[in-house]
Structure formats: C-alpha cells, structure tokens
Amino acid sequence: MKIYLKIWRQDSPATPGAMKNYELDDVSQDMSFLEMMDLLNESLIQKSQRVVEFDHDCREGICGQCGMMINGRAHGPLTHTTTCQLHMRSFKDGDTIYIEPFRAAAFPIVRDLKVDRKAFDNIIQAGGFISASTGQTPEANGILISHAIAEAAFDAAACIGCGACVATCKNSSADLFTSAKITQLALLPQGKVERTERVIAMVDQMDAEGFGHCTNTEACEVECPQEISVLHIARMNYEYNKALIISH
Amino acid sequence: MAGTGLFLCFFLVIHLLGNLQLLLPAAEAKEQFNWYSHLLAGNMLIKIISWVLLISIIAHAVYALLLAAKTKKANGTKYVYDKRNEVSPWNSRNMGLLGTVILIFLVIHLKDFWYVADFTTMALDKQGYKDMYSVVVLTFHQWWYVLIYEISFIALGFHLLHGFFSAARTLGLYHPKYVKIVRYTGWLYTAFITGGFMLIPIVVYFNN
C-alpha cells in the first residue's frame, strides 16, 4: 500500500525543526511500524539523504526504547501498545501519517524523533533504589511476601520507562512513571524501610526536572504499554502526604 | 486544589439545602427564606465561614493559575498534530475553562445577592426581616438571568464530576474498592448539586 508521511525533522537540539513530507510505496500490512520506518530510511540512504533518527532496541515491546507520537497519539492509534508493536495493518492504503517526537520540556529533542529521557534516570537516581548492601543472593523464602503483594509490586515494576505517559499528558506530568517506581518499592519489605525519604526525594526530583502537575485526566493509563494503573499515582500522593507529615 | 475544592464541595451542599426552601409554596417560602437569611446574616460562625469561603475560592483560583503556568512551561514545544484528546474526558482537560465560567458566575451571583443583602437598604417583610425572597423572585423573573444560571450550573456540574474524585486521588485515596465508591459518590453528589441548583431558578420563574 501507499503511505504518505509527515515527519518531524530537526538537526540538533538547538536548531528549529519542521514537518517534512515523504511518500512510501510497497508498504506491507504485515510490517511493524518501525520496519516501515526502516524502509523509509533505506530509500533515504539510496538518495544520499540523512536518515530519520528514532530510538528503538528490542522491537518486541518490552524495552521501552521506542516511542513516537503517531497521528497525534503516543505510540499510535492503539491503546496499551509500544510503537514497535504497532503494525501497518492499523493503517489503510493512501493514509497520511503524522510522526512527531514525544514532546515535553523535560524531554529535549536530540535529533528528529529521538528525545533525551535522562530526566527519568535522574528521578530513579534520586531514590528509586534500596541503599542497604544485601551481599549475596539471600535464600528465596527468607523474607515471606504474600502472593497478592508480590503481584501488585510486580504490576508496578512492569513500567518500561518509555515516556508515553509524559507525552500524552496535557500537563507533561511524569506522575505515572514516578509513582510506579515508588509503589513497587513501598510494597516490598526491603523497600519499606526508606519509603519516607524515597518518596520526597523522587517527587522533588520530578519537579526539579521540569515535569508538570498531575490533574488526574487518566490519559497516561490508556496509552501505557504496560497498563500501569493511575491508582499508583494516588498511592504516591498518599505516601508523599504521609511523608510530609511524619518526616523530620 | 484538593483541600480548597473539597471545602467548596461541602459548602455547596449547605448552600443548596438552604436554597431548597425556595421550592416551598410562595407564602411559606417567603416566610421561611427570609427567616433563614436573617439567621445566617446575624451569626458570627457564618461570618467566619464566609471569610474562609472567600479565601478558599481565591486560593483555588490562584493555585490553578500557578499550575497552568507550570503546565505551560512543562509542555515545551506544541504538537503539530494533536489527537491526545481521544484518551481522556473533555471536562478533565478543561477544568480551567469550566472554572472561569464558574468564577464569572460567582461575580454576578455575589453582586446580585450578597452585595444587595449586606450593603443596600432593603424592604422588610411582615416579620421585620430583610425581604431576600422578593429579591430572588424578581431576579429569577428575567429569562436571560435564569439562562445564565442554568449555563453556569452545567459548567459547575462538569467541574464537580472531575473535581470530586480527582481531589480524593490527590489526597491519596488509592484502594480500588474505595476509589470506586468515591467515583459513584461523585456522580451522585454532582447530580444532586447540579440538579438542585438548576431546578430552583426554573421553578421560581414559572411559579410566581
């Protein structure tokens, strides 16, 4: 099928970008979205033009590297999907597809569709860890954790940090990402010890990175490839409010 | 936003319960409502609450403006093609617009009732109380005034529909069971407040 593309091209963080038009023939419905991008880049190479840069890694929906705004939606028209798991069968012959990078002040554009998500790493570094040295791997049943708690912590831990929550949020808030990390650690006995310091450090870092404020529109949960629940945000607020009261 | 918002939510219940007296038969309503207005006007506790109320409204609006400024800064470059509205309810994205409608309404509302009651000389009724009831009836006899009220209450309804549960989330209510209860309570609360306030001007308009 024939696809018309309008893609954001930007040479460097400092230079202004703009939408450029491209046409692609022979796009198969079985291609993944990123394979379609590969096809475009091959045609650009053959014309000795600079390729469209975009992030990708595993291409099986688990690493969180890929992420584009496709037709105005984070990761494209499907809900709970990464860009690599979106396939061209979601589009029709003759369609025009708008492709832009995930936009937020805290996600500066490196080039084209590639954004710097270091702000997420900084949030994790502010407190998304357990500081006690654990030595060797302990005996698996040394600390008993109920099945329900283990599952709930794992649901939160499933966040792959792709940034779709920030991109789709009208406030560019990183609450879903940060809250998933906070919940995961606050639920488990090893993480509970430092929960008070952690939530304050991570929320403060999130604000310092320039992310916006959560107003509970719940758009993030819809676009999240891992279906991270917005209730984690409420739990983070609970942890944060509690920490404000009981911390020194 | 959550603290001031929930206080305003609570106030609306009290305000509506008082106003429901306007739905009584005309003669009875006049007597009751004027007595009630007089009771409120002379009460020290009500004076304090009304100051807290005014501060809450201003704080709610000022904090909303601060958050809007933060959002503007956090958003950076705008999307060229934006369909993000497909994944969230309209009212949750337009609380500022709805709030502005409510704020404009409040200015009109306070000028026509609070200002008139507290700062002008008014006719007295048979009991010797200020005749607020007649002021209400005369005001609601203008169809366009009723229309302004109805539109404002629709805006209020959509604002509450998002605001009520959102406030609970901000305060940290995360348990799925209670989150569901708060959602349903929010719907019932919104229906009661919006329905009640919308009914009164219409009933007064057609009854007198």
The DSSP bridge pattern shows strands A18-24 and A3-9 to be antiparallel
- Residue of B112, B124, B194, B104 whose CA lies nearest to B156: B194
The answer, for A213 touching chain B at a CB cutoff of 8 Å, is: yes
A199: left (phi over 0), alpha (psi -120 to 50) or beta: alpha
- Nearest chain A residue to B168, by CA: A234
- Model pLDDT, residue A23: 96
Contacts of A31 (CB under 8 A, 6+ apart): A39, A87, A88
CA torsion, points B95, B96, B97, B98, in degrees to nearest 10? 50
Q: Which pLDDT score, from 0 to 100, does residue A31 have?
A: 96
**Which pLDDT score is estimated for A142?**
86
The answer to whether B126 contacts chain A (CB < 8 Å) is: no
Positions of chain B with pLDDT under 70: 208
CA distances from residue B76 to A104, A120, A221, B134 in whole angstroms, order as listed? 5, 17, 22, 53
* Residue contact A232–B174, C-beta within 8 A: yes
Question: Does the pLDDT at position A222 exceed 70?
Answer: yes
The answer, for A170 touching chain B at a CB cutoff of 8 Å, is yes
User: Is residue B119 within 8 Å of residue B112, measured between CB atoms?
Assistant: no
Q: How confident is the model at residue A247 (pLDDT cuts 50, 70, 90)?
A: confident
In A, which residues are within 8 Å of B86 by CB distance? 73
pLDDT for residue A2: 97
Chain A residues touching B159 at Cβ < 8 A: none
Q: Is A237–B76 a contact, with Cβ atoms under 8 angstroms apart? A: no
Other CB atoms closer than 10 Å to residue B59's CB: what's the count?
14
Total number of residues shown for chain A? 248
Domains and CATH numbers, chain A: 3-110 (3.10.20.30), 117-246 (1.10.1060.10)
Instruction: Note whether A127 and A193 are within 8 A (CB).
Output: no
pLDDT of A237 strictly over 70: yes
- Give yes or no for A58 touching B (CB within 8 A): no
CA B98 to chain A, closest CA, distance in angstroms equals 14
Length of chain B: 208
**Do residues A172 and A106 touch, judged by C-beta distance below 8 A?**
yes
> Mean pLDDT across the stretch A169-188?
97
Q: Nearest Cβ partner of B88 from A105, A213, A219?
A: A219
Helix axes B26-41, B132-139, angle to 10 degrees: 120
Mutate to test the interface with A, among B73, B77, B91, B158 (most CBs of A within 10 A): B77
Instruction: Pick B92's closest partner by Cβ from A100, A168, A216.
Output: A216
State mean pLDDT over A23-51. 97
Lookup: tokens for B90: 């309209």
> What pLDDT, on the 0 to 100 scale, is given for residue B95?
97
Judge if pTM exceeds 0.80.
yes
Cβ neighbours for A97, distance < 8 A, ≥ 6 positions apart: A3, A4, A5, A6, A70, A71, A91
Mean pLDDT in chain A? 96
Distance of alpha carbon B198 from alpha carbon B203, whole angstroms: 9
Residues of B in Cβ contact (< 8 Å) with A238: 171-174
From chain A, pick out residues whose CB is under 8 angstroms from the CB of B166.
215-216
pLDDT(A43) > 70: yes
Q: Residue A248: pLDDT above 70?
A: no
**Chain B CA closest to residue A239:** B172
The confidence score (pLDDT) of residue B35 equals 94
* DSSP bridge partners of A3: A24
Q: Which fold has domain B2-207?
A: 3 helical TM bundles of succinate and fumarate reductases (1.20.1300)
| CB pair distance less than 8 Å for B74 and A223 | no
Q: Which of A109, A211, A219 sits opposite B74 (nearest CB)?
A: A211
What pLDDT was estimated at residue B117? 81
Per-residue confidence (pLDDT) for residue B208, from 0 to 100: 64
**What are the distances in angstroms from CA A69 to CA A101, B42, B130?**
6, 60, 62
Supply the pLDDT for residue B114: 85
Cβ A100–B80 below 8 Å, yes or no? yes
8 Å CB contact of B169 and A98: no
C-alpha distances out from residue B199 to A26, A64, B16, Å: 62, 52, 11
Strands A96-100 and A73-74 turn out to be unpaired
Tens digits of per-residue pLDDT, B14-56? Answer: 999 999 999 999 889 999 999 999 999 889 999 999 999 999 9
